[in-house]
Chain A
Amino acid sequence: MKSEIALEELAHRLRVHSVRMTHSARASHVGSSLSTVELLAVLYRKILRIDPDHPQWAQRDRFVLSKGHGCAAYYAVLAEAGFFPVDWLETFYQDGSKLPGHATHTYVPGVEVSTGSLGHGLSMATGMALAGNRDHANYRVFCMLSDGECDEGSTWEPILFAPQHKLDNLVVVVDYNKIQALGTTKEVMDLDPFADKWRAFGWTVEEIDGHNIPEIEKCLGSVPFETGHPSCVIAHTVKGKGVSFMENSLLWHYRIPQGEEYVAALDELGEKP
């Protein structure tokens, strides 16, 4: 990070950026960003071995945002980490911008791979981990999944693959906010017992409160949980976390913060439009 602000403050900034960005972009998915900010703040400040001045440094830890639609918070953490100027965030979705509505590597330093179609990121992350493993490289690969994309069969293919190849340099973080595009995960495609499924496939699993910064830091700081096994962190989160009327609301998977709602959201975050 450019300046050593507190982790709580960084998470707060990511939250404010997410609301401002989706507002000015007239974009969906604010809720999908707000559930990830503490996880991203801890990853980028405390966990990932990266160098924003050298985004392609060969030994960097890789981070793959498989849930590419939740990219507002992701772009925000990259900007706050110094990969590109913070004022780029104002151009999110805009004509001629470098920042489209799904995580895109083309013009954005720090974005490892482009995602947006669900169920792709973990395979790519696993390929990176496999290459690192075979080259005896020290880097680790972190991949953030949404719960909704665990409906994809293609997500379960690498879940089956990684333990077979003992990829303990691979860490999955599931943003388990329990709301997907048309309903709760329980209603649409129940994932529970979720941790048991991962364990049955050969992963070591920890479940945490995905908004509790010390808990996240302790958990991600201890990977791999077991040598010879990939690690899965199921982060229990709240969709829309931090803005009361967005929390646990399916509507805010799509709804754009506008007008009084925008002002009210910023007000709750202690900010002015």
Chain B
Amino acid sequence: MRTAFIETLLELAIEDSRIVLMVGDLGFGVVTDFMKKLPNQFLNAGVAEQNMVGLAAGMALSGKIVFTYSIANFTVLRPLEQIRNDVCYHNANVRIAPIGCGMAYGSLGPSHHATEDIAIMRALPNLLVLAPGDPVETRLAVRALIAHEGPAYLRLGRAGEPIVHDSEPKFEFGKAITVRPGADVTLISTGGMLYDTLQVAKELSGKGIQARVISMHTVKPIDEEVLLAAARETCAIFTIEEHSVIGGLGGAVAEVLMEADQRPKCFKRIGLSGGFSSVVGSQEYLKKTYGLDALGILATVSRCLGIQGSAKGL
């Protein structure tokens, strides 16, 4: 996702001088090309993220489209009030683009795990909240963000996530992508959990269960239509996110279904339980520990459906 983000942004910025990339003294080796090619559209704001977001708002109010980029919590939680007051309240064309969301920086420890960001960003007025599912969706999201009026949050994972989409799907903010059809159960994923979710669907298929897989790349505004159809047409809905189960994708989906009186027979939020990681390890290791790898997800889904949870292909 990181590569897709920075390459796409550079392509767009070469054509559009309004685009500015602002970093908080992070991105060694990642932003170098952008910095060299477009120095007038690049800014290292230093290790000062509150100022970075305020600067971004000021530049956006002067006609720029500003992407702020840093490791997740540094550009989300540290300057939260600047995001709310300076960016969202002014409806400024700032795109908060944190890298390393979820537990991408696994071994670096909980200070670097961004596992509450969707919940917090989702609560902010005017803010579009995006979590693309793979590098292809990332490219499409960055392109679409140039024409978008108002602030946005672009949740990025790391470099090297597998590509899920063979070709570019139709991409529109607020319209989820159905990656795999299925009439029995629905698996809704946001962000980089998409690949694992598809693996789970394939396993379920081997057990005679056809799982619909939805990439919810826009968590706010959420695609209510696709959720209500899933609740009507399938008997179970699972939300899958590398994020706390409190207030994230699962919460957003539950809100829609409850208010529409469309509770499926089975509904389960699969994510982190809301604590800090108590073990040290890579993203892969932590996902496995907390049941967020494909096997863990399959086990939870199987338990809920009352079927045998073993896997052939995983």
Contacts and interface: CB of A to CB of B under 8 A. Distances in A.
A122 B58 CA distance: 9
Contact of B64 (A119, A126, A131): A131
Contacts of A131: 58-59, 62-64
B268 interface: no
Given A132-B62, A161-B45, A161-B46, A126 B51 contact: yes
Contact of B53 (A114, A119, A123, A160): A123
A153 B117 CA distance: 24
A105 interface: yes
Contacts of A157: 46, 48, 50-51
Contact of A113 (B43, B45, B63, B90): B90
B86 interface: yes
B64 to A, nearest CB: 6
Interface string A122-133: 111111111110
B56 interface: yes
Contacts of B85: 114-117, 120
Nearest to A68: B85
Contacts of A130: 43, 55, 58-59
Contacts of B294: none
B55 A123 contact: yes
A128 B82 CA distance: 15
B249 interface: no
B81 A117 contact: yes
Interface in B65-93: 81-82, 85-86, 89-90
A128 B40 contact: no
Contact of B58 (A119, A126, A160): A126
Say what secondary structure dominates the interface of chain A.
helix
Contacts of A154: 50-51, 54, 82
Contacts of A127: 54-62
B54 A126 contact: yes
A31 B58 CA distance: 29
Contacts of B89: 114
Nearest to B41: A134
A131 B64 CA distance: 8
Contact of B61 (A113, A135, A160): A113
A115 B57 CA distance: 13
Contacts of B48: 157, 160-161
Given A114-B90, A120-B82, A120-B86, A158 B54 contact: yes
A135 B61 CA distance: 13
Interface in B255-272: none
A158 B55 contact: yes
Nearest to A132: B62
Contact of A160 (B40, B46, B54, B82): B46
Contacts of A153: 50
B58 A128 contact: yes
Given A105-B90, A114-B90, A134-B40, A123 B50 contact: yes
A155 B56 CA distance: 15
A124 B54 contact: yes
A126 B86 contact: no
A232 B102 CA distance: 43
Contacts of A128: 58-59, 61-62
Contacts of B81: 117, 120
A45 to B, nearest CB: 25
A177 B165 CA distance: 61
A251 B190 CA distance: 53
Nearest to A128: B58
Given A117-B81, A117-B85, A161-B46, A123 B51 contact: yes
Nearest to B40: A134
B50 to A, nearest CB: 4
Interface in B208-265: none
Interface in A131-154: 131-132, 134-135, 153-154
A180 to B, nearest CB: 19
A114 B86 CA distance: 8
Q: Which of A122, A125, A127 has the most CB of B within 10 A?
A: A127
Nearest to B47: A157
Interface string A142-186: 000000000001100110110010000000000000000000000
Given A105-B90, A113-B90, A114-B90, A158 B61 contact: no
Contacts of B90: 105, 113-114
B95 to A, nearest CB: 15
Given A117-B81, A154-B51, A161-B55, A123 B86 contact: yes
19 contacts: A113-B57, A113-B58, A113-B61, A113-B90, A120-B82, A123-B50, A124-B61, A126-B54, A127-B62, A128-B61, A131-B63, A135-B62, A154-B54, A157-B46, A157-B48, A158-B55, A160-B46, A161-B46, A164-B46
Interface of B: 40, 43, 45-46, 48, 50-51, 53-64, 81-82, 85-86, 89-90
Given A124-B55, A129-B58, A154-B54, 18 more contacts: A113-B58, A113-B86, A117-B81, A120-B54, A122-B54, A123-B51, A123-B55, A123-B57, A123-B86, A128-B59, A128-B62, A134-B40, A154-B50, A154-B51, A157-B46, A157-B51, A158-B54, A164-B46
